[in-house]
């Protein structure tokens, strides 16, 4: 069978790569670079700041279009590399499963979940996190992908959501003069509806003033963290 690459090699404008393929991503990247070069630049004390579509800062990847998935993908790639380094460890049948799960949580999940409090934990993001966890647990335990996705031995999504709830309690207990608390309150009161995946998605549905009073009682807040969210996937 002969394969013809003429249209693609010759730059035929009527030929389009499959959406999501490596070729399509390369084309979209080149278009973004071209668009960035046409934008006006910002100058700080006479120094020109380059226009970029995305950049890495403090371990997180930021993107100019506000994509809430790009940072999760970035951390996932780093965690996947760490997981692959431990391939022989996962395959060693002499080691107990409990030891492998502890290693997975310490060496891989801790790398993945860098500052998840800042993520917009939307349904898309939760599915990506659960998919990553499912693939890793499939390798570690040998269980089918469907089982590791619906009944994981370690629920990474649930762990992230509980961690975000703990951070929310800490944030609500902060002094009212703290900038991060003031920014959060402005975020809450700035819109008519709380966006999907916000820090408030798993907390009790009560007025914010009552939520602050509840957070001041650490024992009650710890109970909320333990018992919620009931539906993690």
Residue of 150 and 190 predicted with greater confidence = 150
* For residue 27, pLDDT beyond 90: no
The answer to whether 119 and 126 have CB atoms below 8 angstroms apart is no
CB contact at 8 A, 110 and 58: no
Please list the alpha-helical segments (H only) found in the chain: 6-9, 22-38, 70-85, 87-91, 97-103, 110-112, 123-141, 145-150, 156-172, 179-189, 208-216, 218-227
Return the closest-CA partner of residue 194 out of 203, 132, 61, 182: 203
CA atoms within 13 A on the CB side of 106: 7
Q: Could you tell me the two tokens for 73?
A: 């993908």
Q: In the prediction, which pLDDT does 65 show?
A: 64
Of the two residues 36 and 137, the one the predictor is more confident about is 137
The stretch 152-179 carries a mean pLDDT of 92
* Stretch 196-215: mean pLDDT: 85
Residue 233 confidence class, pLDDT cut points 50, 70, 90: very low
CA dist 55 and 61 (Å) reads: 6
User: What's the whole-number mean pLDDT along residues 20-45?
Assistant: 73
Burial of 101 (0-12, 13-18, 19+ CB in 10 A): middle
More confidently predicted of 153 and 5: 153
pTM comes to 0.75
Q: Which of 25-34, 44-53, 102-111, 210-219 has the lowest mean pLDDT?
A: 25-34
């Amino acid at each position: 069978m002969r394969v013809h690459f003429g249209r693609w090699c010759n730059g035929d404008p009527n030929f389009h790569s499959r959406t999501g393929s490596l070729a399509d991503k390369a084309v979209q990247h080149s278009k973004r670079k071209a668009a960035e070069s046409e934008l006006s630049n910002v100058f700080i004390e006479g120094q020109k700041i380059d226009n970029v579509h995305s950049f890495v800062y403090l371990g997180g990847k930021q993107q100019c279009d506000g994509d809430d998935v790009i940072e999760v993908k970035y951390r996932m790639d780093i965690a996947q590399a760490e997981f692959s380094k431990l391939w022989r460890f996962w395959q060693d049948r002499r080691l107990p499963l409990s030891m492998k799960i502890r290693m997975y949580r310490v060496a891989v999940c801790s790398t993945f979940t860098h500052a998840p409090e800042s993520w917009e934990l939307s349904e898309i993001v939760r599915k990506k996190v659960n998919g990553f966890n499912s693939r890793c647990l499939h390798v570690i335990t040998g269980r089918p992908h469907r089982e590791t996705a619906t009944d994981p031995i370690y629920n990474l999504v649930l762990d992230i959501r509980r961690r975000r709830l703990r951070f929310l309690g800490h944030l609500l207990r902060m002094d009212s003069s703290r900038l991060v608390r003031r920014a959060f309150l402005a975020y809450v009161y700035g819109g008519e509806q709380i966006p999907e995946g916000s820090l408030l998605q798993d907390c009790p549905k009560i007025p914010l003033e009552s939520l602050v009073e509840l957070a001041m009682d650490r024992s009650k807040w710890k109970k909320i963290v333990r018992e919620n969210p009931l539906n993690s996937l």
